[in-house]
Structure 1
């Protein structure tokens, strides 16, 4: 192995700084607001995040919710959200990128070629993050503290994307204070989940590393598979096939599919559980909750062709099904075993539901002896 190859690092494959700057440049402008309005909105979101904590504790009955008030909450704009995600992606993808370098045949990339390659992938990732940055209302990031030079606490950080929350509440013409609290109930639930299951961050990171390494590790086949996936997406662009997306088409062998199945089940649980908490509130807490639910659920039915294409490419519609499938699982378990029975999922990785159990809660209840 020559000197140049030993110096080549995984980060050379993606220019993360360029990804963040590209996303900031391409992200659509947020709603027009004066500095005073922005400051008030930030204070309101922080207050909503704080107020939601005891309600999450009451609904979930997880003692971990008691210690959330002092953990990390950031109210961010779209560019800051994108930058935060480049930091987390760098953590999650490093093992896979290392595998790509190790498995690459022939001489190592020259510094010029590596810089060019990193710029291309960085720009592409930035374009994706720019699109997503205008869609996400909030996000709990459990991996933030693992990034180099990160200032995030070990427990992770909660990001509330202010321009998107404000855009949606204006679009739906709903009460801002009610809507912000409703959103924070969902996002704070994710923080409770990882606080209640401190092993969950490591477990998910290992599964993500396993899937990404399997998917990206063989650099000799990834381009052929990506080309085939893109062709598949193009051929069905007039109407996406339920449950499929170009990225999912990259998966071929049983190990890859098993990894994705497990991650799908876990994400369905996390999102469904948070949605159940969000929907457990009544008008005594969020007076206009019925109006918010109705109008929020109607969103997205009139998306344009381009947005539908991008959502299919990124698998976002599959993610929306996770909310529904996971919520059905949580409600079915609670109906039989109560919230205490459901909370057994946070005890160990062995108690997490499989994808089959997500779709048939009786299987999980039987396995748990409930």
Structure 2
């Protein structure tokens, strides 16, 4: 039994290709790790206060280097994707090398990740956080809290909507279910084209999760320099989560559909209309989650759910 992607190879390739990050003396590195751990706890408190969702389950916090981040993300995806008996011999290695190259780029850009499939655990990419904080000349405490609030919001989402990881795994299992030896990649492409509604649902899920986390992190009032952080971070360019990016790569999804802004616009509209408590009904069931069409027309979701 194996997978379409050799995730161990992907992690190793990413580790080889990625720069280690900024050079930091041991004393400063230990301080940064401790500050990030503190920010993780404070970020959960802020996420709970703003989102009106409370955490009831334990979660691990891992402050990692870039190689550790790539390994953990690979483990996450290995847990998401189904194993199958008949995968052409060269496919996992080719896919692993390709996605390892993608991870090597993402590892220099992605700051954190919440992993509901292994753990659950919060990953904070210390070298990249440190590098970007320095490049943007941001207040360290404020920046760490801003990042942690975003990732801890994902923790709350998955706790209150345990059906979401199951839907994600189900869609991926259908997409990557047993393939024939001959023409398997063509078969996968045809299968994905036939799964238009499922892929649309996955796109909506990712967009709302990322948009919700963005709205919550930007509503933190205790971050004194939040306007500066937002302005400089947005000027840095578009950013997508590693989950959104790799799913887009695996499934051939339109990258624009997975960007934070689409979901953030939906969430902000709904929160402004009915508050976070009203918005939180999206997590209660699959049926109450917005469709791909409703994502671009939040007033239609409001009309359906009121």
Same fold (TM over 0.5): yes
Change (3 A) 1:167 1:317: farther
Structure 2 match to 1:147: none
Q: TM-score under structure 2 normalisation?
A: 0.87
Q: Would you say 1:278 and 2:217 are equivalent positions?
A: yes
Structure 2 match to 1:267: 206
Shift of 1:158: 0.9
Cα deviations across residues 280-318 of structure 1 (Å, max 9, x unaligned)? Answer: 123xx11111111100000038xxxxxxxx9x9787982
The total of aligned residue pairs comes to: 297
Q: Would you say 1:79 and 2:56 are equivalent positions?
A: no
Structure 2 match to 1:176: 140
Select 2:224's aligned residue among 262, 278, 287. Answer: 287
Q: Would you say 1:165 and 2:122 are equivalent positions?
A: no
Q: Distance in 1 between matches of 2:160 and 2:268?
A: 19
Counterpart secondary structure, 1:188: helix
Q: TM-score under structure 1 normalisation?
A: 0.73
Structure 2 match to 1:57: 48
Equivalence map 1:13-162=2 (5 Å): 14-62=5-53, 64-65=54-55, 67=56, 70-95=58-83, 97-98=84-85, 101=86, 114=89, 118-144=92-118, 152=119, 156-162=120-126
Change (3 A) 1:316 1:83: farther
Q: Distance in 2 between matches of 1:190 and 1:224?
A: 34
Alignment check: 8 A CA contact 2:175 2:191 kept: no
Uncovered stretches (5+) of structure 2, i.e. residues with no partner:
239-245
Cα deviations across residues 21-78 of structure 1 (Å, max 9, x unaligned)? Answer: 221111112011011111111000000010112211111111x33x36x421111111
Change (3 A) 1:266 1:119: closer
Q: Would you say 1:326 and 2:263 are equivalent positions?
A: yes
Uncovered stretches (5+) of structure 1, i.e. residues with no partner:
1-8, 145-151, 227-249, 302-309
Cα deviations across residues 173-198 of structure 1 (Å, max 9, x unaligned)? Answer: 11111111111110000001111122
Larger radius of gyration: 1
Equivalence map 1:222-261=2 (5 Å): 222-224=184-186, 250=189, 255-261=194-200
Equivalence map 1:338-349=2 (5 Å): 338-349=275-286
Q: Distance in 2 between matches of 1:176 and 1:291?
A: 12
Equivalence map 1:345-360=2 (5 Å): 345-360=282-297
Alignment check: 8 A CA contact 1:346 1:352 kept: yes
Shift of 1:332: 1.1
Shift of 1:219: 5.2
Cα deviations across residues 237-256 of structure 1 (Å, max 9, x unaligned)? Answer: xxxxxxxxxxxxx4676532
Change (3 A) 1:330 1:218: farther
Q: Distance in 2 between matches of 1:288 and 1:76?
A: 26
Cα deviations across residues 323-364 of structure 1 (Å, max 9, x unaligned)? Answer: 111111111112222222111111111111111111000111
Structure 2 match to 1:364: 301
Select 2:168's aligned residue among 188, 201, 204. Answer: 204
